[in-house]
């Protein structure tokens, strides 16, 4: 029994880790008021960057750095389009999701079918995921830069009046979000399933998007949310032949959760838990 529980906990943490890492990044940029739906694409680029570096024989640290860089670069593209040019950030993020997955698919052709014979251990990523979540919570709650970031997401005009460079803060937050999406990808291709395949992110980026709403933009709740999600995902297979619950019900669970998350977000918005300026471009002098 203990062994069984331990195994389930480990699976929950392992599958939850990429979700948590990506969600923590997304919470940071959404708390600064920028929506980035492109997590799936940034994750794919990060996964490919990490794998291509590792399979050429470089160290895991370099592979992770490449993933952080790839995710960050892709996110900066989103920042330019949505913050500087001022295009609709939802559309730009959607485009990034597709572009990132597509570009990774094309660039990654030469790595298809190659294994990483020395997979990176999962534990460092699990610890990093937890540390990032706690770190972001401390940063947002107890530090002045954290307060600045939140003020930019709640009331950019007021922050601007106090001398905060709103666009610069938002750029930084988006870059951070992208880097973490890339890191989540690195976990997938270096450790969780040490290989590269087109489409290997398998919708995890979208689940991370939903998770952010599900946990109400709270980094610590994201730890619980991602673990819960990982546990359900594992249990759909572990409980499959117990005969009590139909297989299809478990298969539908992730989607039910996403719908639930969206419904919750509707309620939450009414209560005001989302950053007030989320997704609204800021232009000095307008409004």
Partner 1 sequence: MQMRKLAIAVLVALSAVSTAAEKEKEQAKEKKLKACFIYVGPVGDLGWSNAHDEARRLAEKAIPGLETQFVEAVPEAQGLPVIDRLVQQGCKVIFTTSFGYMDHTVEAAKKYPDVVFAHATGFKRAPNLATYMADFYQVYYLNGLMAGALTKSGKIGYVGAFPIPELKRHISAFALGARAARPDAVVNVKWINSWFSPPKAREAAEALMVEGNDVLAFTEDTATVVQVAARKKIPSFSHYSPMYRFAPDYVVSGQLVHWEKVYIDFLGKVRDGTYAAGKVKDVDYWWLLKEGAVEMGAQPGMPINPKFTDALKKAQMTVGGKPVAVYDRVMDLLKDMSSPSPKFDPFTGPIKDRNGVERVPAGRHMTVEELNSMQWVAPGVMGPVADEPK
3-state helix, strand, coil in the chain (%, to 5): 75, 0, 25
Q: Is 57 in the site for partner 1 (CB under 8 A)?
A: no
Interface residue with partner 1, options 240, 249, 260, 283 (CB under 8 A): 240
Among 76, 80, 119, 216, binds partner 1 (CB under 8 A): 119
Per rule CB under 8 A, is residue 107 in the interface with partner 1?
Answer: no
Binding partner 1 (rule: CB under 8 A), the pick from 51, 214, 234, 282 is: 234
Alpha helices in 162-246 (DSSP H): 166-187, 204-214, 219-238
Cβ proximity to partner 1: between 137 and 187 the closer is: 187
Provide the 8-state DSSP code for 240: G
Cα–Cα separations (whole angstroms), residue 39 to 36, 157, 169, 177, 181: 7, 28, 19, 8, 6
Question: Mapping DSSP to helix (H, G, I), strand (E, B) and coil, where does residue 115 land?
Answer: strand
DSSP 84: I
User: Would you count residue 103 as binding partner 1 (CB under 8 A)?
Assistant: no
Residue 193 in contact with partner 1, rule: CB under 8 A: yes
User: Any idea what DSSP says for residue 192?
Assistant: I
| The one among 88, 155, 197, 273 contacting partner 1 by CB under 8 A | 197
Residue 55 within binding range of partner 1, rule CB under 8 A: no
* Spatial contact of 165 and 145, defined as CB atoms under 8 Å apart: no
Provide the binding-site residues for partner 1, judged by CB under 8 A: 4, 7, 11, 15, 105, 108-109, 112-115, 119, 192-195, 197-200, 202, 204, 233-234, 236-238, 240-241, 243, 247, 251
């Amino acid at each position: 029994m203990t062994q069984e529980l331990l195994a389930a906990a480990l699976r929950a943490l392992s599958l939850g880790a990429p979700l948590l890492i990506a969600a923590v990044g997304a919470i940071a940029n959404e708390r600064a008021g920028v929506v980035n739906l492109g997590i799936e694409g940034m994750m794919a680029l990060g996964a490919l960057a990490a794998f291509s570096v590792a399979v050429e024989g470089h160290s895991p640290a370099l592979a992770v750095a490449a993933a952080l860089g790839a995710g960050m670069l892709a996110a900066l593209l989103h920042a330019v389009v949505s913050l500087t040019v001022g295009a609709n950030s939802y559309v730009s993020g959607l485009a990034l999701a597709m572009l990132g997955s597509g570009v990774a698919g094309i660039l990654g052709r030469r790595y298809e079918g190659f294994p990483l014979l020395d997979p990176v251990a999962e534990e460092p990523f699990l610890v990093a995921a937890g540390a990032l979540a706690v770190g972001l919570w401390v940063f947002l709650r107890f530090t002045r830069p954290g307060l600045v970031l939140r003020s930019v997401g709640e009331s950019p005009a007021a922050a601007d009046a106090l001398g905060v460079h709103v666009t610069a803060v938002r750029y930084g937050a988006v870059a951070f979000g992208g880097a973490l999406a890339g890191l989540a990808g690195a976990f997938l291709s270096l450790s969780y399933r040490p290989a590269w395949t087109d489409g290997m992110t398998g919708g995890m980026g979208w689940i991370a998007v939903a998770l952010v709403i599900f946990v109400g933009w709270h980094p610590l709740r994201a730890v619980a949310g991602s673990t819960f999600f990982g546990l359900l995902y594992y249990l759909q297979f572990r409980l499959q032949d117990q005969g009590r619950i139909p297989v299809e019900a478990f298969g539908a669970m992730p989607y039910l959760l996403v719908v639930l998350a969206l419904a919750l977000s509707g309620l939450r918005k009414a209560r005001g838990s989302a950053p007030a300026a989320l997704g609204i471009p800021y232009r000095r002098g307008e409004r």
